[in-house]
Amino acid sequence: MFCEVNQLIYFDNAASAPPLPQVRQAIADCMAQPGNASSLHAPGRAAKQALETARGQVAGLLGANPDEVYFTSGGTEAIHWALHTLAASVAPGIILTTPIEHHAVSHTLAALTGHRVQTVPVDAYGVLRLEALERALLQPDVRLVAAMAVNNETGSVLQTAEIGAMCAQKDIPFFVDAVQAAGHTPINAVAQNITALAISGHKFGGPLGTGALVMRRPRQPKPIFLGGAQERNLRAGTENLPGIVGLGLACTLARQLAPEWEEHYTALRRRMLEGIAPLNPIVNGDGVPNILSLCFRGLQNEALHMHLDLRGIAISLGAACGAGNAEPSHVLAAMGMDAIDVQGTIRVSFGPQNTLDEADAFAQALCQSVTTLRAMSPVSAQK
């Protein structure tokens, strides 16, 4: 059985945030109604209307038109769909990306045939070096730029508006992995000259197994599944209507509550950092307030994770998709961190349900755990 969230202190929202109460209710209400959006009878028409309402809600959050939104099973599918479509739409050449991308992006780019992938460096805060991108764009055979909006490990915010403007000047498609950005920082496909972007519902209070691809006209995704007319004949299969309804509502709530959430996350972050100040942690990056990457030099993050887990506190070592992977974080390495600091890094991420009391309890538990582990660690004892 799953552990009830209210029985622990859950600070791993960047991995998967609990669905918002309103979203859970909307999903339950939708599941209580019959109807397939492809059917012509009254229940089918109602399902179709709910589907298109959600499409408009997603478009509203991302600064797109509803007919530019395509529903998927999550962020990874949307990323694959976008990159394969864009890569196939241009002549063979160079694809520019960053060294801190999620593996859903970097591994997909590496698997593309006919293109050469080049990475543009980031600085010590995980922010793209725009002068390096400007130089890279001088190459005549650059065909595509792919960059995330917010890094999933550190919360660092990349300069999507500036990158998009550079790409627009050269008429180069620009793809954005907005999985960690949507619902937490403004994303506007038109204003930021974004050609295509991907989101995932469970990162900002929507349901697991839902996502969306935005691809701006006149481009459209190439068919990914065949056998039905769903998603304008591009993704066959009966739509996950309850999930899509939940995703749409989460987008609307994010638009309405974003200022309140940002204030809340900032307060949690401040309270937590004040509580752990005696530990002298290193804060990796300086980005969105809902993600906090902390380094405790000389410690092993697996041991710290275990200590906190035994105290009923859920955090992450970094990217949730890399759990069980012994390789050090490619993100922190790209930011110039040495192996000792990488091994001592944990990620704490906030959701609307977290409280200041939980931040205090976390700080107290972390202080106790770090103090215990430092006393046992010969490396930290030398610092």
CATH number of 136's domain: 3.40.640.10
Beta bridge partners of 10: 314
284 and 235 part of one domain: no
Question: Is residue 9 scored above 80 in pLDDT?
Answer: yes
Residue range 94-110: average pLDDT? 97
Residue 166: which domain range?
21-253
pLDDT at 7: 64
Closest by Cα among 228, 231, 180 to 204: 180
Q: What is the pTM of this model?
A: 0.93
- Of 237, 253, 269, the residue that ends a domain is 253
Per-residue model confidence as pLDDT tens digits over 214-270: 999 999 999 999 999 999 999 999 999 999 999 999 999 999 999 999 999 999 999
More confident position, 275 or 1: 275
- Of 253, 278, 303, the residue that ends a domain is 253
Chain centroid to CA 76: 10
The neighbour count for residue 270, using CB atoms within 10 Å, is 13
218 and 328 part of one domain: no
42 and 99 part of one domain: yes
Q: Please state, in angstroms and rounded to a whole number, the distance separating the CA atoms of residues 346 and 221.
A: 37
Cβ–Cβ < 8 Å for 106, 79: no
Question: Is residue 320 scored above 90 in pLDDT?
Answer: no
Question: Is residue 377 scored above 80 in pLDDT?
Answer: no
Question: Is residue 328 scored above 90 in pLDDT?
Answer: no
For the chain, how big is the Rg over CA atoms in Å?
21
Residue range 278-300: average pLDDT? 93
Encoding tokens for residue 289?
A: 């307030």
User: Looking at the 3D structure of the chain, how many domains does it have?
Assistant: 2
Question: Is residue 378 scored above 80 in pLDDT?
Answer: no
Amino acid at 132: A
The neighbour count for residue 163, using CB atoms within 10 Å, is 26
| Mean pLDDT over each residue of the chain, to the nearest integer | 93
Of 30, 167, 321, 367, which is the active-site residue?
321
Beta bridge partners of 282: 295
Percentage of residues in the chain with pLDDT exceeding 90?
A: 88
Amino acid at 2: F
182 and 241 part of one domain: yes
Residue range 122-150: average pLDDT? 97
Closest by Cα among 178, 248, 240 to 206: 248
63 and 160 part of one domain: yes
pLDDT at 383: 44
pLDDT at 286: 81
77 and 161 part of one domain: yes
pLDDT at 237: 95
What CATH number is attached to the domain comprising 372? Answer: 3.90.1150.10
* 321 noted as active-site residue: yes
pLDDT at 325: 53
13 and 64 part of one domain: no
Residue range 110-126: average pLDDT? 96
- Of 187, 221, 253, the residue that ends a domain is 253
Residue range 92-107: average pLDDT? 97
